[in-house]
Amino acid sequence: MIKNFLEIIGEYFIFLGKVFTKPSKISEFSRKLVDEMNAMGIGSLLIVCIVAVCMGSVITTQTALQMESPWIPRWTLGFTVRTSVVMELCPTIITLLLVGNLGSRITSEIGSMRVTEQIDALEVMGINSASYLVLPKIVSAVIVIPMLIIISIFFALIGGYITVIITHVSSPYEYLDGLTAFFRMYDLVYVLTKTTIFAFILSSVAAFYGYRIEGGALELGKANVNGIVVSSFIILVLNLVITSIML
């Protein structure tokens, strides 16, 4: 089992070596990059916004329920919601959502190209298939996913604000006051660092599992599941490591 695990790690790094080579046609790479950014960004925007609003709303309600003591300042609600949403919930939960959405799309797309010999066709033409297919996806994910996380943070805080207005658990002024209290720019650096690393893991692991498929539809399904499970696991472990290092 350990041998198998080490073999997969080795394969993954060899795969990354093939991916990170100079694209044979920069114009074609740019075109694919724009297509990927469009598909990843626009394609995931709605679901990310909806989930973020719901998450912000729920965290606001739950936090408010824990703060019934008159000794706790009222702005604490906004402060706690902001800290939870910015530091942990949006970067991690939304990335895990994107693992299911974007990650499985990447695995399926590349895997079905492998199964239907389209990757072999690229190789026969003398094209580095790993670089041609995967590099635009990884670069796109690294650019787009942090943007999506920032947007999701914004919508989660709006979700909290809407909840405050509807349920009167706090006044909107106190909520907004809490959102801006003790804000550190470093928190944003931490979030962007974390999500950039998560985006790289998400896209490269998903592509790796799609690229190494041998067989047919059954293996494609297995690769999809493995890609999601492995990248989710790595993201959660890295979350712990990055948090320990940066905070």
Partner 1 sequence: MIELKNVSKYFGERQVLKNINTEFVQGKVNLIIGRSGSGKTVMVKNLIGLLSPEEGEILYNGRNFNLFTDKEKQEIRSEMGMVFQGSALFDSMTIEENVMFPLTMLTSQSYSEKIDRVNFCLERVDLKGFNNLYPAELSGGMMKRAAIARAIACNPKYLFCDEPNSGLDPKTSLLIDELIYEITHEFDITTVVNTHDMNSVITIGETISFIYEGTLAWRGNKDNVLTSDNEKLNGFIFAQPLTQRIRELS
Distance in angstroms between the alpha carbons of the first and the last residue of the chain: 35
In angstroms, give the least distance from the CB of 74 to partner 1: 54
Q: Does 21 bind partner 1 (CB under 8 A)?
A: no
Looking up tokens 């919930």 gives 89
Of the listed pieces 97-105, 112-120, 141-149, 206-214, which binds partner 1 according to CB under 8 A?
112-120
Compute the distance between CA of residue 150 and CA of residue 168 in angstroms, rounded to an integer.
27
- Helices 185-211 and 104-115 pack at an angle, to 10 degrees, of 20
Helices (H), 116-216: 118-124, 129-167, 172-180, 185-211
Q: How far is the CB of 153 from partner 1 (least distance, A)?
A: 33
Size of site (CB under 8 A) for partner 1: 14
Which C-beta is closer to partner 1: that of 68 or that of 214? 214
Name residue 178's amino acid.
Answer: G
Write the burial class of residue 145 (CB in 10 Å: 0-12 exposed, 13-18 middle, 19+ buried). Answer: buried
Nearest CB to partner 1, comparing residues 157 and 220: 220
Determine, following the binding rule CB under 8 A, whether residue 118 of this chain makes contact with partner 1: yes
- Give yes or no for residue 126 binding partner 1 (CB under 8 A): yes
Nearer to partner 1, 110 or 153 (CB): 110
Tell me which DSSP letter residue 23 carries: -
Instruction: Give residues in contact with partner 1 (CB under 8 A).
Output: 24-25, 28, 113, 116-118, 120-121, 123-127
